[in-house]
Amino acid sequence: MPPETPTRAEGLARLSAFLPRAGSAYARDRNVDPGPQEAGHVSRLSPFVRHRLIGEWELARAAEQAHGAAATKFIDEVCWRAYWRGYLEMRPALWTRYVAYLISDEAESVRATGDYQAAVEGRTGIDAFDVWASELITTGYLHNHARMSFASIWMHTLRLPWQLGAAFFLEHLLDGDEAANTLSWRWVAGLHTPGKVYLASTEAIATCSAGRFRPTGLARHAAPVAPEPPAPVAALPVPVPAPRWPCVLMVTPEDLGADGFRLDNLSIVGVAAFVTGKASAAAATAAAAQTVARQIGTEVRPFTSRTELEDALTAFGTRSLLTSRLPLGRTRTGLDALLRDNEGPIPLYERTRQWDAVAWPAAAKGFFAYRPVIAHLMALTDPGGFWDRP
Ligand SMILES: Cc1cc2nc3c(=O)[nH]c(=O)nc-3n(C[C@H](O)[C@H](O)[C@H](O)COP(=O)(O)OP(=O)(O)OC[C@H]3O[C@@H](n4cnc5c(N)ncnc54)[C@H](O)[C@@H]3O)c2cc1C
């Protein structure tokens, strides 16, 4: 697993070590999880990709260069990430409803039950499930098939609310991502593609765990889910040119720079680091901010409060903040609370990476309808560049 403070160098080393397996071997073996002690058939790059220490485009292009058409499956999987992200950005109600459930009386009473406690402590007696609960907590990672089966057993066999399972994942996954996580749990529940649920089976778990597990007593029928109104579709903000006046570059765990912040022709007078989230993400944010500040010859001011942010802006002599687009989720919610403080507005300018500007609006329906956009993404000349030139 990644070191305490994941770095781009570590992620790139992991990518180059994995690359020989990103072609036909990935297509054939990716669903088999030999366990955390083994090298495995997947990249385990998600914690680096989640925080944009490495861009999705870098993974996809490296795989295409190494394997040509045989990299299609790997590139598809990489693009699931942008698909989920775009889908949620256009349906913010799915996120707000999920958050509202977590603070409801019903959620509180379920958390107090023995069944919930047994599930999160890995004491259900269900083979595989209990091991995965503890693997998630100790390593911060689960293989995709383990995530699917765990979520299925959680809601369909144990009959626990999907939202509490999603929250358990988000708390422990090092790649915890509001879009991929919430929407994958909804997909297992049958809420993403109506009527299509994911039911874990003994045989599939035995095969996908390379024979390590053979759980019995799994549900043969899906748990009923409460019907919900369709989420209204919101328009994505149109990307706008970055301001040419002096700004402070704000680095957040949502984008740690991937292959650069492309600051040429901009007037950046300082760097502010919003050090929030898990300890590893906060440390990586501080480190990424240091790197970019060194490159442009300025200072870094870390902040977690309005007062520290105000101090940084005063020190740098401007009130304009420039950052990579902040998607829906915990970082955005935390920052909005600081910016909305009644000490006066702080203008925030968000830049959209070209990869996101093309990928997100295409996530209108299912992934099948989305697939044609993958060719456009792969053809972009500067996918990590920002869509902010006039
Ligand atoms: C219930 C559930 C919850 C999930 N929660 C998260 C989450 O919080 N954060 C997260 O990044 N992924 C999540 N996923 C998707 C997927 O399980 C992980 O991205 C993947 O297991 C990461 O391991 P890897 O880096 O070895 O993937 P690889 O197979 O090596 O894939 C390469 C990269 O492609 C992306 N990717 C691959 N598969 C998916 C997918 N199905 N959806 C989205 N992106 C994908 C990831 O960025 C990954 O690093 C979830 C899946 C399920 C079923």
Domains in the chain, number = 3
At residue 4 the predicted structure's pLDDT band, cuts being 50, 70 and 90, is low
Say yes or no: ipTM exceeds 0.90: yes
Residue 373 inside a domain? The answer is yes
Q: Cα(182) to centroid of ligand 1, in Å?
A: 12
Does 372 score more than 60 pLDDT? yes
Statement to judge: residues 284 and 363 lie in one domain: no
**What are 158-167's pLDDT values in tens digits?**
999 999 999 9
Residue 16 inside a domain? The answer is yes
Of 26, 54, 61, 81, best ligand 1 pocket probe by most atoms within 8 Å of the beta carbon: 81
pLDDT of residue 389: 57
Does 3 score more than 70 pLDDT? no
Statement to judge: residues 324 and 269 lie in one domain: yes
Q: Is 179 in the pocket of ligand 1 (CB under 6 A)?
A: no
Residue 161 belongs to domain spanning: 92-208
Q: Cα(239) to centroid of ligand 1, in Å?
A: 27
Residue 112 inside a domain? The answer is yes
160, 183, 208 - which closes a domain: 208
Residue 269 inside a domain? The answer is yes
Residue 58 inside a domain? The answer is yes
- Span 261-277, mean pLDDT? 96
Q: What is the CATH number of the domain that holds 138?
A: 1.10.579.10
pLDDT of residue 2: 42
Determine the atom of ligand 1 nearest the C-alpha atom of 181: 5
Q: What is the CATH number of the domain that holds 49?
A: 1.25.40
Contact present, 208 and 31 (Cβ < 8 Å): yes
Statement to judge: residues 105 and 204 lie in one domain: yes
Does 241 score more than 90 pLDDT? no
Q: Is 45 in the pocket of ligand 1 (CB under 6 A)?
A: yes
Residue 227 inside a domain? The answer is no
Residue 232 inside a domain? The answer is no
Q: Is 52 in the pocket of ligand 1 (CB under 6 A)?
A: no
Q: What stretches of 216-278 show up as alpha helix (H) in DSSP? A: none
Angstrom distance (rounded) from CA 57 to CA 64: 10
- Span 217-221, mean pLDDT? 96
Q: What is the mean pLDDT of the chain?
A: 95
Q: Cα(147) to centroid of ligand 1, in Å?
A: 9
Q: Is 293 in the pocket of ligand 1 (CB under 6 A)?
A: no
- Span 161-186, mean pLDDT? 98
Residue of 131 and 242 predicted with greater confidence: 131
* Protein residue closest via CA to atom 5 of ligand 1: 181
Q: Is 182 in the pocket of ligand 1 (CB under 6 A)?
A: no
Residue 304 inside a domain? The answer is yes
Determine the atom of ligand 1 nearest the C-alpha atom of 83: 43
The fraction of the chain above a pLDDT of 90, given in percent, is 88
Determine the atom of ligand 1 nearest the C-alpha atom of 176: 8
Statement to judge: residues 278 and 192 lie in one domain: no
Does 1 score more than 60 pLDDT? no
Statement to judge: residues 69 and 118 lie in one domain: no
155, 177, 208 - which closes a domain: 208
pLDDT of residue 390: 43
Statement to judge: residues 130 and 57 lie in one domain: no
Statement to judge: residues 141 and 83 lie in one domain: no
Statement to judge: residues 203 and 98 lie in one domain: yes
Angstrom distance (rounded) from CA 388 to CA 320: 16
Q: Cα(172) to centroid of ligand 1, in Å?
A: 14
Q: Cα(233) to centroid of ligand 1, in Å?
A: 24
